């Protein structure tokens, strides 16, 4: 039996006194790839935040917004994934004069998401999809065993999105990802957890589900997206 990487018991969360999550029981074993699904506002982002707060030292995070420093280069934004594992003097030097070894390491990660030629470009000059891939590259460079990702491929087409999800699965032992695309979730997750109004209403192996079983948890507009 694999050891749990994540465990929440009867967890809840509220904003301004309004309940967002209620009675959440969730255990994720090391090695699982979990897709969090459900309508907009169901509580997926809040659940990712709860998990992150529980084990921050073991997590690489892809936030919903790319959260890049737009005035800095792509290199510097990806390099931030390991800032806490380098000496302050080394980080300050890299801000002005990046070390060749760090340039090569970041460049290799960018190649995995199709952005090897963007290493020295300003992050703010990239398209939305490219910025999202930089955010993914930062998590890949971080390399910690648990990946938490909030819609990490929402700005990409299905082919690109599938390639990016495959790269994440290669690097991180355990994945918990909020995904909107039903096809990608079924193809790249081993387990599907669906939230409705802040509660878990479905928790099943992806092999036991199909698109029709999941689309009923969405509005007509979301199901067609």
Closest alpha carbon to 94 in 106, 109, 112: 106
Q: State the Cα angle at 63 between 57 and 130, rounded to 5°.
A: 125
**Hey, is 145 helix, strand or coil?**
coil
Quick one: pLDDT at residue 85? 92
Q: Dig out the tokens for 44 from the structure.
A: 């997926």
Strand order in the sheet with 59-62: 59-62, 146-150, 174-178, 33-37, 191-196, 199-205
Q: Which fold, 4-224?
A: Rossmann fold (3.40.50)
Rounded CA-CA distance 207/140 in Å is: 27
Q: Do the Cβ atoms of 176 and 192 come closer than 8 Å?
A: no
Per-residue pLDDT of the chain (225 residues; tens, 9 = 90+): 567 899 999 999 998 889 999 999 999 999 999 999 999 999 999 999 999 999 999 999 999 988 999 999 999 999 999 999 999 999 999 999 999 999 999 999 999 999 999 999 999 999 999 999 999 999 999 999 999 999 999 999 999 999 999 999 999 999 999 999 999 999 999 999 999 999 999 999 999 999 999 999 987 656 545
Closest alpha carbon to 152 in 71, 27, 72, 35: 35
Quick one: pLDDT at residue 65? 87
φ/ψ of residue 163, rounded to 5: -65, -40
Q: Using alpha carbons, list the distances in angstroms from residue 184 to 58, 93, 121, 162, 175.
A: 25, 40, 30, 6, 14
Closest alpha carbon to 55 in 192, 200, 174: 174
b/e string for 76-106 if b means 16 or more Cβ within 10 A? bbbbbbbeeeeeeeebeebeeebeeebeeeb
Quick one: pLDDT at residue 222? 63
Q: Where are the domains of the chain?
A: 4-224
b/e string for 120-150 if b means 16 or more Cβ within 10 A? eebbeebeebbbbbbbbbbbbbbebebbbbb
Q: For 201-225, how does the pLDDT look when each residue is reduced to its tens digit (9 = 90+)?
A: 999 999 999 999 999 998 765 654 5
pTM, 2 dp: 0.93
């Amino acid at each position: 039996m694999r050891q749990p990487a994540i465990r929440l018991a009867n967890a809840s969360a509220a904003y301004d006194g309004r309940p967002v999550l209620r009675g959440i029981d969730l255990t994720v074993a090391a090695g699982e790839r979990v897709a969090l699904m459900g309508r907009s506002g169901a509580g997926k982002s809040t659940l990712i935040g709860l998990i992150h707060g529980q084990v921050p030292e073991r997590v690489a995070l892809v936030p919903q917004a790319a959260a890049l420093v737009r005035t800095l280069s792509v290199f510097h934004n990806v390099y931030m994934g390991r800032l806490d594992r380098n000496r302050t003097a080394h980080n300050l030097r890299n801000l002005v004069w990046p070390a060749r070894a760090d340039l090569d390491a970041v460049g290799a990660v960018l190649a995995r998401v199709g952005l090897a030629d963007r290493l020295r470009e300003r992050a703010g000059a990239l398209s939305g999809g490219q910025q999202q891939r930089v955010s993914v590259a930062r998590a890949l460079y971080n390399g910690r065993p648990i990946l938490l990702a909030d819609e990490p491929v929402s700005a990409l087409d299905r082919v690109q999105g599938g390639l990016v999800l495959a790269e994440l699965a290669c690097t991180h032992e355990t994945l918990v990802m909020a995904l909107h695309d039903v096809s990608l979730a079924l193809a790249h997750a081993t387990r599907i957890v669906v939230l409705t109004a802040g509660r878990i209403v479905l928790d099943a192996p992806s092999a036991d589900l199909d698109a029709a079983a999941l689309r009923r948890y969405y509005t007509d507009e979301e199901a067609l997206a």
